[in-house]
Amino acid sequence: MSNIIKAIINISNNPIVELKNAYLGKNKINNVGDALERYVQDAFANTLNKDNLEEKDREKIISEIFSYKGNSRNPPDIILKNGDAIEVKKIEKKNSSIALNSSYPKHKLYSTDSRITNACRNCEEWTTKDIIYVVGTITDKKLRSLWFIYGDCYAASAESYTSIYRKIKESIHSLKEVEFTKTNELGKINKIDPLGITNLRIRGMWHIENPSSVFNMYVPSEDVSGFNLTCIMRKSKFESHNNNDIKNLMNCKNVSICDIEIKDPDNTANLLEAKLITVRGDQ
């Protein structure tokens, strides 16, 4: 079974940053977003830097590590078997906000979420999963930095988002003399014009600040030469991992682990014990 600790170890030992050379143009990978997602899959599956591995053999390994591989329209992108959900986001500037489109930020992933697919909901027996946001900064098809940030360190609980979303939706649906269609979006109005041939979709487009901006007091600058990786998770999550995995991580020469306190996303008056893991390299 794989986990985030093993993925960080794999990246530390095999810091592939030239996504163009490693992925683009191979196995129908035509854009850097897909290349980044494949890179993350390889990190968790321990298939980085295995150029001689045939695609069918890689897919067999992937199927053993992940219970779900999704699509670009519904979160999450992948789910570890009996483990965490993972959402991968690509940006081109290190402080750019993260586009979440029609899905609000996830504190946790719930099987009751209407925005996940049935395939995701039924991929294994589960009700709640921790979710990792993986944010990669890519310029000139080269991976400059990578963030692993857990949703419960980054986003508030669902009610913070759904309550305002619900109020906006109710307000829209209070409009008279318009024909609404049931939708997960804020609204869909049919037959707006006299001919009845024009429809209007009303969508919410969610964005969240980049973790490098949110947590800049702990990671003041990513302006270092070469690739860098940053991970923040709750201390309890870190300590839930296998002791051997933690020891292997601590033995990586370019890895730093320290204790920090972060604001509780649900109540900023509270501080949460967390772990900051960094990988710095000159590749």
In a domain, 248, yes or no: yes
In a domain, 199, yes or no: no
In a domain, 186, yes or no: no
In a domain, 165, yes or no: no
Domain count, the chain: 1
In a domain, 224, yes or no: yes
d(Cα 140, Cα 93) in Å, to the nearest integer?
Answer: 11
- Write out pLDDT tens, residues 137-190: 998 888 999 999 999 999 999 999 999 999 998 898 888 778 888 887 888 898
In a domain, 184, yes or no: no
In a domain, 251, yes or no: yes
Helix boundaries (H) for 51-183: 55-65, 118-121, 151-154, 158-173
pTM, entire model: 0.92
Q: Which domain holds residue 10?
A: 4-156+205-280
Residue 283's pLDDT is 44
In a domain, 88, yes or no: yes
d(Cα 162, Cα 206) in Å, to the nearest integer?
Answer: 12
Residue that is written with structure tokens 């309890």 in the block: 236
- Write out pLDDT tens, residues 31-62: 888 889 999 999 999 999 777 888 899 999 99
